[in-house]
Structure 1
């Protein structure tokens, strides 16, 4: 065996390079010995690339995407889970509530109409018509709106109303109809109603938390709006339209009746029950009248009144009255002011209305000729009666007229110094034709001669 091995190795060529592990020659001859095999490998690689290119060229985009997703779907699933875990809480807790709140903040909620009617000292009947506008259909659960004064440092609502369930789609009118509400803060209500009486327009603030549904999505929103509402403007235009003396007076003292104008410049209907007013000439109280079942829609409102004119006060203080009437008389008018006395509903005093009107004074001017005509018609009822005889029958003598004329005579020079027009002036104690011309004119108007 050993000789055989040696014999085999005797053919080993010492200078032949060793064969590489890949079947080639040694370092010196590696390039030449492997050259044919490399050319074969390059050809096969080129063929493989061409086959792949040909295969890729035959795939559509959808097939490529499907193949890509099929290979990497697991990574996409992990990415989607991570994205959802981050985005969905932001969507439901931040984005949607922000969108809902933005829509609520953009609402103007104008007050188109409404009414505030006093029922008892502690309750009101409230109606409001407003509107909402949304770019998306939405449903709103019932919510409580608190009405308050924004100028009050602390949130102090004076009443609250309930908004019914609503479906809002685009511009939608909202009706809060005849809700009986309890006054929760009388001081704040007095403050707000004072502005309603005094100003041309007043602000009304509302606040509430709303639960809103956008399809299946649910979100909460906060409403805090302040709107401007036209108001009473001090009853500008208030005036006695017609007044008639009732002689003889009734047993309860009623001796005057007529109509007066109660204007409402605002958007809200106001109901305050039976309103009693003091009639004032200067600082002197000369009468008390009552207007019944006062309900004031927007615009001018003629209302019947009756009451008592204090004739004894008039006679005893004629000088003081004429002094207070000097400016109005120079313009051909009589000025009769009114202040609140009492406001009563079903026998109960409405405190918050009295707290306002009893400290307000409204001015009414009546042309002297009109007032004279009304008063004379009270006595004559359209018959042809001698004025001096009528006055003598009513007052017992002519003392009242004499006092009026004597006052005009003694004060005429002072008034004339201030204005170009001066009142009638006759000698004291004389009832001349000039003094009675005013009454005659009223008589003629009553008889249809003017």
Structure 2
């Protein structure tokens, strides 16, 4: 066995040093290590690392972001879904309606024209011209606008109008045209029309709930606007322009006709049908006239009238008439007041207008010279009567009006109601004389149809 073991070792060189598996020296330390071989392996590994480092360049921010998104995209998707689930309801239910409502709140809706025409005791023909201004293009569905009086504590619309479908882009005209509407609250309408008559300007309030489309989006809004418009200002400028006596009177009692001016200082045109007016001298009713088919656009409106002048009442109360005309006569004028008597459309009384006009008074001041000229023209129309002869026959050598103007300021007395036995007793002493008697004679001749 020992011999065999020795034989097995025979293939080793005697001078060859033993080495460890790690390439170190042998146990006896003799000989050299396999240093050249290890140096070659180390150099190859270093070159490989250097080449690998040179091949992998640093990533840019964009590349890092893309790599990050590829790795975590599903997290972002979940986050986006959660964000949209929270944001979209807020957008549609809060943000968009708030933007739309802010635009509606900023609207001024000025009224530039329109009309209110009475067509029956319970109906009006209404037109309104206004405008909307929107920075966003939008479509508005047809909606109902409620007209009301803001001065009433409780919201009480007196009429409703329908706003047609409208496309708004920038400043857009809104035209509500010729809508026949029913009066929903006559008391409120009467109150508003009273302000229209009495004031130089009046407020008109509107309220509505439009449905607005912004492309595919739609939302609801609320309009509540009060605008100021010009109004009648008590018909300031009302004047009887021309006056003609009809002698003899017509079969229906008509003995007076002419033209008067009914000015409309307002923004809205008004139509009130046939308007009957009481003619007053002070508190004495001396006549009744009718203006037909009254339609008042903006500006002065000259309208024909006819009716009856109560000559009996006028001459039987001449003293009362002269007393009431004191201030006007001192300025060379005659003052005639008018109050409402009736307002009729198609044979039906318009109560809300009568309630207003029957309790209002308008005044016409006419020059004495103009009135005398009109009356003289009435007497001589179609006849051969000489004006100088008629004046001499009626007034003699003294003009009645001059006598009145010359003595009125000296003494003013209150007249009493006249009696049939003594008509001249009603004339103040300061104006009694040939002129008063002549005026009495004129009245008698007019009654007998001489002129």
Match in the other structure for 1:96: 96
Match in the other structure for 1:430: 434
- Given that 2:336 and 2:363 are in contact with CA atoms closer than 8 Å, whether structure 1 keeps it comes out as yes
* 2-structure distance, mates of 1:356, 1:221: 37
* 2-structure distance, mates of 1:159, 1:149: 10
* 2-structure distance, mates of 1:310, 1:196: 32
- Given that 2:242 and 2:260 are in contact with CA atoms closer than 8 Å, whether structure 1 keeps it comes out as yes
* 1-structure distance, mates of 2:435, 2:200: 48
Q: How many residues align?
A: 382
| Partner secondary structure for residue 129 of structure 1 | strand
| Partner secondary structure for residue 209 of structure 2 | strand
- Given that 2:273 and 2:294 are in contact with CA atoms closer than 8 Å, whether structure 1 keeps it comes out as yes
Map 1:45-194; keep pairs closer than 5 Å. 50=53, 54-56=57-59, 61=62, 63-194=63-194
Match in the other structure for 1:290: 290
Establish whether residue 414 from structure 1 lines up as the match of residue 418 from structure 2. no
- Given that 2:411 and 2:430 are in contact with CA atoms closer than 8 Å, whether structure 1 keeps it comes out as no
Map 1:208-223; keep pairs closer than 5 Å. 208-223=208-223
Structure 1 residue runs without a partner (length 5+): 1-38, 416-424, 440-450
- Given that 1:264 and 1:297 are in contact with CA atoms closer than 8 Å, whether structure 2 keeps it comes out as yes
Match in the other structure for 1:258: 258
| Partner secondary structure for residue 56 of structure 1 | coil
| Partner secondary structure for residue 57 of structure 2 | helix
The C-alpha deviation readout for 1:171-213, integer Å capped at 9, x for no partner, is 1111111000000000000000000001111000000101000
The C-alpha deviation readout for 1:85-116, integer Å capped at 9, x for no partner, is 21111101100000000011111111110000
Match in the other structure for 1:276: 276
Larger radius of gyration: 2
The C-alpha deviation readout for 1:253-308, integer Å capped at 9, x for no partner, is 10000000000001111000000000010000000000000000000000000000
Q: Closer, same or farther in 2 for the Cα pair 1:345/1:374, shift >3 Å?
A: same
| Partner secondary structure for residue 299 of structure 1 | coil
* 1-structure distance, mates of 2:261, 2:431: 39
* 2-structure distance, mates of 1:129, 1:315: 51
- Given that 2:109 and 2:130 are in contact with CA atoms closer than 8 Å, whether structure 1 keeps it comes out as yes
Q: Closer, same or farther in 2 for the Cα pair 1:53/1:321, shift >3 Å?
A: farther
Q: 1:74 offset after TM fit, Å?
A: 1.3
* 2-structure distance, mates of 1:106, 1:137: 16
Structure 2 residue runs without a partner (length 5+): 1-41, 413-428, 443-451
Q: Closer, same or farther in 2 for the Cα pair 1:300/1:402, shift >3 Å?
A: closer
- Given that 1:409 and 1:426 are in contact with CA atoms closer than 8 Å, whether structure 2 keeps it comes out as no
Match in the other structure for 2:380: 380
Q: Closer, same or farther in 2 for the Cα pair 1:319/1:431, shift >3 Å?
A: closer
Match in the other structure for 2:15: none
* 2-structure distance, mates of 1:300, 1:166: 35
* 1-structure distance, mates of 2:389, 2:50: 141
The C-alpha deviation readout for 1:396-448, integer Å capped at 9, x for no partner, is x879x999888778745126xxxxxxxxx99954359xx99xx9xxxxxxxxx
Q: Closer, same or farther in 2 for the Cα pair 1:66/1:359, shift >3 Å?
A: same
* 2-structure distance, mates of 1:49, 1:75: 33
- The normalised TM-score by structure 1 is 0.78
* 1-structure distance, mates of 2:59, 2:411: 117
Q: Which moved more, 1:303-312 or 1:374-383?
A: 374-383
Match in the other structure for 2:424: none
Match in the other structure for 1:199: 199
Q: 1:381 offset after TM fit, Å?
A: 2.0
Q: 1:65 offset after TM fit, Å?
A: 2.9
Q: Closer, same or farther in 2 for the Cα pair 1:49/1:311, shift >3 Å?
A: farther
The C-alpha deviation readout for 1:39-92, integer Å capped at 9, x for no partner, is 99xx89x969956961415xx72x443222111101101211121121111101
Q: Which moved more, 1:383-392 or 1:124-133?
A: 383-392
* 2-structure distance, mates of 1:199, 1:354: 18
* 2-structure distance, mates of 1:232, 1:48: 100
* 1-structure distance, mates of 2:402, 2:58: 126
- Given that 1:149 and 1:188 are in contact with CA atoms closer than 8 Å, whether structure 2 keeps it comes out as yes
The C-alpha deviation readout for 1:130-189, integer Å capped at 9, x for no partner, is 111111110000000000011111110000000011111111111111000000000000
* 2-structure distance, mates of 1:427, 1:198: 37
- Given that 1:281 and 1:335 are in contact with CA atoms closer than 8 Å, whether structure 2 keeps it comes out as yes
| Partner secondary structure for residue 154 of structure 1 | coil
* 2-structure distance, mates of 1:354, 1:68: 84
Match in the other structure for 2:422: none
- The normalised TM-score by structure 2 is 0.78
Match in the other structure for 1:237: 237
* 2-structure distance, mates of 1:252, 1:392: 33
